[in-house]
Amino acid sequence: MKHQALSALCLLLLSLVAVAETNPVLLIEVAREGLRTPRTTRIATHQGLKLKEYNDTLSELGRQQQYLLGLEIRTRYLKSVFGAECNPLNIFAFAVSKESVMLSGQAHLLGICPLFTNKNITKDMVEKSYPPFDFPAKEQIGEELGLYATPYNFMPLPLHSTYNDPIFGAADSEKYPLPVNDLFGARKAEIDRKFADTLYPALAELAGLETDELTVRKVIDTVHELINLVESKRLRKISKKIVQAAKDFLHEYYRYYWEKENRDKYASMFFNELMLKLKNAVILRLNKVLPKPLSYVVTIEQPDYDYAQIKYYLYEVSDLQMYTYSTVMKFGNNGYIPPSSIFMFELHQTCDLSKEMSVEQAMKCFKLDVKYNDAEVNSRFCQSPCALDTFYAGLKEYFQKLLTV
């Protein structure tokens, strides 16, 4: 037992050392939203469960997941990326313009930049925090909220959003509309055949429906409800086989949501933006040694941002985006993606830059660590960690003419 305890302690110390040595020059995180509330209450109603939250918003458990995820990211990259402080100039966050996703992004950012500090709220701070006009309940509100007001020096982080995808600015969303849902073709029949004898009857029994009532739309909504009830421990007496079938259904549904042509077109837009940011990071560092600075490309127009200062990009996305990127990159276990899962792209500088280097040569001085849910993974484009130019070449070859970077 002592030997096992010592081994566990050694592993813990090694992991802490590894965390301490993490020193990327740029960090890009893609996070799936936290656990949502159910879109429907079919199962809950039939099983006699009362739900306080539903209608597809972020659940309480989802808020906890995202906040703790943000705290972990802050702890891990506090010195290397965040510079031991919470500086909005170093952070750029985007979210799909959907309630559950934006709430996830906000909770995540609160973990990155915690609300609570060691500084106490004083009466003087409260008095000075009133807006520049008088109102009847001024003193009462000041007394009630004084202890809970935003702590001194707390700086909230802006969360940008767009309708289609967090990778593109509002103007570009119109240029890159989401491809049409291709699922209602041959793939729909294929998915129905795969789950008709296992999952569908179980869902019908749980929800008090006839099996022939379960259209694809009802199935996907009911599956989301089932997983939410199981993960929030509201529905305990349920076969693990059925839960796994529900997760497998989600994987199949999102995996085949689009035909390959549309899926690749959509994913290529994401990876194009990712490569631009990685390439910009190389250019900005190369510019420090060049007599004449190189230009870099900014596709999300935010004139108030100094892109040379950004060290951390957060993209909060929904199920559809996460499954699309995972399918293209071959991340993870090629299966169900849990809420609050993350892809991490760590850019590390491995050699010194010189004024004789071209951008292509400078890219060879950087490696990319690719991680899924904290585990280093290989993708179809490289074995992580891989040289940045190798990753770029793999993307270019796979997407052919779709990439413009």
Tell whether 317 and 349 lie within a shared domain: yes
Q: Is residue 206 part of a domain?
A: yes
- Provide the residue type at 180 as one letter: V
Q: Is residue 2 part of a domain?
A: no
Tell whether 166 and 34 lie within a shared domain: yes
Domain stop point among 255, 279, 309: 255
Q: What is the CATH number of the domain that holds 88?
A: 3.40.50.1240
Domain count, the chain: 3
Tell whether 266 and 325 lie within a shared domain: yes
- Between β-strands 159-162 and 91-96, what pairing exists: parallel, antiparallel or unpaired? parallel
Q: Degrees (nearest 5) of the Cα angle 39, 43, 48? A: 120
Residues 6+ positions from 293 with CB-CB distance below 8 Å = 287
Q: Is residue 4 part of a domain?
A: no
Say what the pLDDT of residue 19 is.
Answer: 39
Tell whether 205 and 283 lie within a shared domain: no
Mean pLDDT in each 10-residue stretch from start to end of the chain (405 residues)?
41 38 85 92 92 82 91 88 80 88 92 64 60 69 55 69 53 52 71 90 94 84 93 89 95 84 81 89 94 81 72 91 86 81 94 94 95 86 89 88 72
- Provide the residue type at 88 as one letter: P
Tell whether 286 and 345 lie within a shared domain: yes
In 3D space, the residue among 40, 157, 38, 164 whose CA is nearest the CA of residue 98 turns out to be: 164
Phi/psi of residue 15, nearest 5 degrees: -65, -40
Q: Where are the alpha helices (DSSP H) in 77-214?
A: 99-112, 123-128, 138-145, 170-175, 186-195, 199-207
* 34 vs 69: CA distance, rounded Å: 10
Neighbouring C-alpha atoms within 13 Å toward the C-beta of 400 = 3
Tell whether 165 and 224 lie within a shared domain: no
Q: DSSP letters of 283-296?
A: HHHHTTT-SSPPP-
Distance between start and end Cα atoms, the chain: 55
Say what the pLDDT of residue 289 is.
Answer: 94
* 28 vs 385: CA distance, rounded Å: 15
Say what the pLDDT of residue 169 is.
Answer: 39
Q: Which domain holds residue 123?
A: 116-153
315: which 2 tokens?
Answer: 């993209």
Domain stop point among 229, 255, 281: 255
Q: Is residue 6 part of a domain?
A: no
Tell whether 307 and 323 lie within a shared domain: yes
Tell whether 390 and 282 lie within a shared domain: yes
pTM above 0.75, yes or no: yes
Domain stop point among 255, 276, 296: 255
Q: Is residue 275 part of a domain?
A: yes
* 88 vs 158: CA distance, rounded Å: 8
Q: Is residue 13 part of a domain?
A: no
Tell whether 334 and 396 lie within a shared domain: yes
Say what the pLDDT of residue 189 is.
Answer: 82
Tell whether 90 and 231 lie within a shared domain: no
Tell whether 332 and 404 lie within a shared domain: yes
As a residue count, the chain comes to 405
Q: Is residue 248 part of a domain?
A: yes
Tell whether 211 and 105 lie within a shared domain: no
- Between β-strands 375-376 and 91-96, what pairing exists: parallel, antiparallel or unpaired? unpaired
Q: Is residue 1 part of a domain?
A: no
* 247 vs 242: CA distance, rounded Å: 9
